Amino acid sequence: MAQVILENVKKYFGQVKALDGIDLIVKDQKFVVLLGPSGCGKTTLLRCVSGLEKVTSGRIYFDGQDVTDLPPRSRNVSMVFQSYAVWPHMRVYENIAYPMKIKKYDREEIENKVEWAAKLLNIHELLDRYPAQLSGGQRQRVAVARAIVLEPAVLLMDEPLSNLDALLRVMMRSELKKLQERLGTTTIYVTHDQVEAMTMGDMIAVMSAGKIQQYGTPEEIYHKPANLFVAGFIGSPRMNFLEVEIQRGKGEVFFISESVKITCPLKLSDKLRDFPQKRVTLGMRPEHIHLSRVESGYPLRGEVYFSERLGADTIVHFKVDEEKIVAKIPGDVILEEGGSVEFFLDLSKIHVFDPKTGRSLV
Amino acid sequence: MVYRKDIVPFLLLLPTLAYLVLFLGYPLVQTFILAFTSDKGALGNFQQLMSTGEFWKTLKNTLLITGVVVPLQLVLALLLALFVNMRFKGYTIVLYIISIPLALSDVSAALMSYSIFAPMGYLNKFLLNLGFIEQPIYFFGFMFQTREFWVIVLTEVWRATPLVFVIILAGLQAVNREYLEAADIFGFSAWQKFRKIIFPILKPSILSALLIRTLFAFQIFGVVWLLAGRDIPILAGEAFYWQTEVNNAHMASAYALIIALVSLIISWAYITFLKPTQGSTA
Amino acid sequence: MAKKLLIGFIAVIVSLWFLTPVVLIVFASLTPSSDFYDPHKLFPTKLTLDHLYKLFVVLDGWRATLNSLQVAGLSIGLSFLVGLPAGFALTRYVFPGKNAFRLSILLTRSFPMMIIAVPLVVLYLKIGISDTLTGVALAHTSMILPFVVLITSSILSGISVEYEEAGMIFGLSRFGAFLKITLPLALPGLAASAIFAFIMSWNEVFIASVLTLINRTLPAHILNTAMTSPDYFKFAAGTVMALPAMVFIFFTRKYLMSMWGISLK
């Protein structure tokens, strides 16, 4: 257990800025997820914390100790690789025992710890086998067992579930999280899958282009996205975005476009009073669009472009003039394609962004 | 991958670089120096070389052998590769048998030929016992240079075709089965399939094999020396002779330099005229 | 059906074509002289080990074979010692000049190796290792080194770098991870390449013949005594040169095929 602090960490590969100034505090015993699309730098960040990559500038601290210049083996970190990297020429037992073997633990202690780790991960019967004889899921458990056996200060995981089939992935999600809670190990977890991030993380750092876009709890990330990127990345189906003009009059703020004239809710109009530009981007999550009238609902009429009946919900794609708006309606709703339907935007849940910087204005 | 401004990779490469500079670079330079040093000035050795008829005969022989052997090998290797690539039942056994000569030295191959073509060799005994001939046919000896030549060609073809075969077979792996199946559906004949699909994809392998084989054919030594001695002088053989029997390192170097020069010309010609352009399938 | 027969027929012809000379020379080395020189006896009536014995004991074949083994062993050892680090650097590091280096190694393939022999004679005389096995081994190493660099680079590339990284996370240094994790995994491939390198040295005749007088390797010995020696010597020697190489190739055939890029599926 340790607190991890990254201070203005930068990593350049030649001219490429993989990490462009990362400041991050991972509190002790917390499960922090690094979430983002391919190439955002999350794996690079993880590797810098592990010591496999040297940072170009900046510092990394474990519990106040500066580990920036230490090699991986001196850092008391453990890692679960995406490909598991379970050594093929050693049996499962030897794989798990190896970290201790290198540190010259005595035989009895090694045996005890391997048993303990194997029991935790439910792989006790597999100890005698070679990795080639195991399934992907089993190999993954071996990798995790090996990573926790020395009870490291920091546990790092690089997309450990991405190579598993869907059912296994769901099962392992809860198992890994429960394991971490039980051991209390500070964990940094990399994924591009937002469901994993939302369900497992105590805190999520959403990354893009080498920067942390937002760092907060899953609720904060979801309900209070700090910018356009985070708002658009989290949530499926994606948040709807609408470009509108601001008009002010009679103490009220209006959002105007070809298709809409929305009165800005009072709570928000205060924050927009001093906004200098003429255009903003509105954001509305699909589940906040309803077919029946709601309080603070703004009515719109649109053509049903496409309908996806998922059984428990229905995703409806509307066409309003040239804009496409996606709504998520609970229940199984049958709408005729091409038909004209009225729907309502719940303005209490509206988001407003600055189109130039992407930042949230509210 | 580690990406640091490390000196570690350079340190790892250093021994290899140093070794090659010392054992390839230095001898190359020395060859030049030796070849161009003589009592009669810088070109003395070459003058001596050219004045005897020996040199031109040597050059002609080397070119002749190369010119006959290489195309033969190419065609045979191609046919063999196409054959094996049909992947009939048991093809791996045939594949391994074809690769046997790859393990053999030119010395062994020459001796095998000798056991067949010697006066008391298998061929003669075979023909004698079946009554086809009365006296053994002589394949070796100064008077039988033409026959010696063809035995040498046969031996070289036998010995080195598998080298070309392996390269071409590897190249054939790049031919996607689906292209050929599509061709079948469109009614291509075997020849058309070869010309339009297989050959273009094979071209890089064929050219690379061609280059390697030609270069090595110019250095041919063991087979000729053992089967014909100096009856059929060749460049490498002459270099060997001048060094080990006459003890004249200068003349030997002159011959060696000519081999190097020819290798350079061939490589240059290959890169300039035959090297496949960027756009082709590699 | 006719196609199958044709294929079978061609397969047999091809196999015979390549097998016959090998079989014949083995027979020839085991044929007693009386049978061999008897024009009516195409094949021997009995086999004898007499020739092989004479080759090894009387005609110094044993010493030459040992010399060949020593030279080959030294060459492999040296070329792997020097070349393996370079192969490792080529796979695991990115550095300026990497491509140039790789290209120049490839270019040495078209270098006529034999021409280093003559200048080396002169050099070896100067530094006192003329006519020694060490001298030949040094020359052979320069022949084998480029091959070793390229093949080890290829073999090591096939071993996922994550195995090494896992080693580094769990307590090994970079070098330690290479030694304890990558090397054991690379061993089969490296062994097969070592065998191939062995054969390259074992078969090499020109350089060995030029550089040695008394301490000859087997092919050099054969080359120099063949013309003046009795036939049985020629055949016994040819067999001795051929057999070990073929045995080695047989054992490593699968690796060789994948090394040349031929998939056997």
Nearest CB neighbour to C118, from listed B8, B158, B256:
B256
Whether the predicted pLDDT of B93 surpasses 90 = no
Q: Is A41 helix (H, G, I), strand (E, B) or coil?
A: coil
Is C164 an interface residue toward B (CB < 8 Å)?
no
The beta strand positions in A27-147, using DSSP E, are 31-35, 57-62, 65-66, 77-80
Tell me the nearest-neighbour CA distance from C246 into chain A, angstroms: 30
Complex ipTM above 0.90? no
Q: Which helix (H) or strand (E) holds A215?
A: strand A211-216
Task: State the Cα–Cα distance between residues A37 and A275, nearest whole angstrom.
Answer: 31
CA angle centred on C215, ends B15 and C221, rounded to 5°? 110
Instruction: Compute CA B214 distance to the chain's CA centroid, rounded to the nearest angstrom.
Output: 5
Per-residue model confidence (pLDDT) at position A36: 94
Q: Where are the alpha helices (DSSP H) in B52-90?
A: 53-84
Residues in chain C: 265
Task: List all residues of chain B from 79 to 98 with a beta carbon under 8 Å from chain C.
Answer: 80, 83, 86, 88, 90-98
Measured between CB atoms, does C165 come within 8 Å of chain A? yes
Whether B129 sits inside 8 A of C42 (CB atoms) is yes
B86, B262 contact by CB (below 8 A): no
State whether C141 and B19 contact (CB < 8 Å).
yes
| B115 and C238 Cβ atoms separated by less than 8 Å | yes
Say if A69 is an interface residue toward chain B (CB within 8 Å): no
Q: A4-232 and A240-353: same fold?
A: no
| Residues of chain B contacting residue C122, judged by C-beta atoms under 8 Å apart | 30, 34, 249
Give residue B156's identity as a one-letter amino acid code: E
Q: Name the residue ranges covered by the structural domains of chain B.
A: 54-274
**Per-residue model confidence (pLDDT) at position C239:** 87
Confidence of residue B5 (pLDDT cuts 50, 70, 90): low
Report C:33-62 residues touching B (Cβ under 8 A): 36-37, 39-42
Query: Which candidate in B5, B10, B16, B240 is best for mutational testing of the C interface (most C CBs within 10 A)?
Result: B16
Confidence of residue B280 (pLDDT cuts 50, 70, 90): very low
Q: Is the CB of B3 inside 8 Å of chain A's CB atoms? A: yes
Q: What is the pTM (predicted TM-score) of this model?
A: 0.83
The answer to whether B34 and B174 have CB atoms below 8 angstroms apart is no
C-alpha span between B132 and B126 (Å, rounded): 9
**265 residues of chain C, pLDDT tens digit each:** 788 888 889 999 999 999 999 988 888 888 777 776 776 666 767 777 777 777 777 767 788 889 999 999 999 999 999 999 999 999 888 888 888 888 888 888 778 888 888 888 888 888 888 888 999 999 999 999 999 999 999 899 989 999 999 999 999 998 899 999 999 999 988 998 899 899 999 999 999 999 988 888 888 888 888 777 777 778 888 888 888 888 888 888 877 777 777 766 5
- CA distance linking residue C217 with residue B14, whole number of Å: 30
Domain boundaries, chain C: 23-58+226-265, 66-217
Cβ–Cβ contact C168 with A under 8 A:
yes
Euclidean distance between CA atoms A310 and A324, whole angstroms: 20
Say whether A13 and B4 touch across the interface (CB within 8 A). Answer: no
SS3 track for A294-314: CCCEEEEEEEEEEEEECCCEE
Contact yes or no for A81 and C166 at CB 8 A: yes
Confidence of residue B1 (pLDDT cuts 50, 70, 90): very low
Task: Summarize pLDDT for B216-236 with one digit per residue, the tens.
Answer: 898 899 899 988 888 888 888
Least CB-CB distance to C169: which of A77, A82, A87? Answer: A77
Q: What residues in A contact B4, CB-CB < 8 Å? A: 54
Q: Mind telling me how many Å the CA of C158 is from chain A's nearest CA? A: 13
Of residues B119 and C190, more confidence is placed in C190
Looking at residue C41, its pLDDT comes to 67
Q: What is the pLDDT of residue B282?
A: 39
Residue A146's pLDDT is 95
Low-confidence spans in chain A with pLDDT less than 50: none
Q: Which of residues 35-74 of B touch C (CB under 8 A)?
A: none
Does the distance separating the beta carbons of B3 and A13 come in below 8 Å? yes
The predicted pLDDT at position B278 comes to 43
**Cα separation, A75 vs A72, whole angstroms:** 5
In this prediction, residue B212 carries a pLDDT of 87
Q: Residues A137-195: pLDDT tens digits?
A: 999 999 999 999 988 999 999 999 998 999 999 999 999 999 999 999 999 999 999 99
Residue A29 is predicted with a pLDDT of 93
Give the angle C131-C140-C258 at the CA atoms, nearest 5°: 155
- Tens of pLDDT along B19-35? 999 988 888 888 888 88
- Distance between the two ends of chain A, CA-based, in angstroms? 36
Query: Any idea where the domains of chain A sit in the sequence?
Result: 4-232, 240-353
The predicted structure's pLDDT at residue B277: 54
Tokens read off for A136: 């992907």
Q: What's phi and psi for A6, nearest 5 deg?
A: -110, 130
- The pLDDT, as a whole number, for residue B275 is 65
User: What is the per-residue pLDDT across C104-121, written as a single tens digit (0 to 9) for each?
Assistant: 888 887 788 888 888 888
Per DSSP bridges, beta strands A77-80 and A154-158 are parallel
- Nearest-angstrom CA–CA distance, A92 and A129: 6
pLDDT of residue C264: 65
Q: How far apart are CA A26 and CA A33, in angstroms?
A: 10
Kindly state the average pLDDT of the residues B188-200. Answer: 83
Note the CATH number of domain A240-353: 2.40.50.140
Q: Residue C80 is encoded by which pair of tokens?
A: 């792997």
Contact between residue C87 and residue C105 where contact means Cβ atoms under 8 Å apart: no
Give tens-digit pLDDT for B245-262.
Answer: 888 888 888 888 888 888
Q: Out of 3.40.50.300, 2.170.190.11, 1.10.420.10, 3.90.930.60, select the CATH number for domain A4-232.
A: 3.40.50.300
> Which of B132, B155, B171 is closest to B222 using CA atoms?
B155
pLDDT tier at B279 (50, 70, 90 boundaries)?
A: very low
Domain B54-274, CATH among 2.40.37.10, 1.10.3720.10, 3.40.470.10, 3.30.1330.10: 1.10.3720.10
The nearest alpha carbon in chain B to C223 belongs to B226
Distance CA A355, CA A281 (A): 6
CATH T-level topology, domain C66-217:
MetI-like fold (1.10.3720)
Characterize A52-63 residue by residue with b for buried, 16 or more Cβ atoms within 10 angstroms of its Cβ, and e for exposed. Answer: bbebeebebbbe
In chain C, residues 176-235 whose CB comes closer than 8 Å to chain A: 181, 184-185
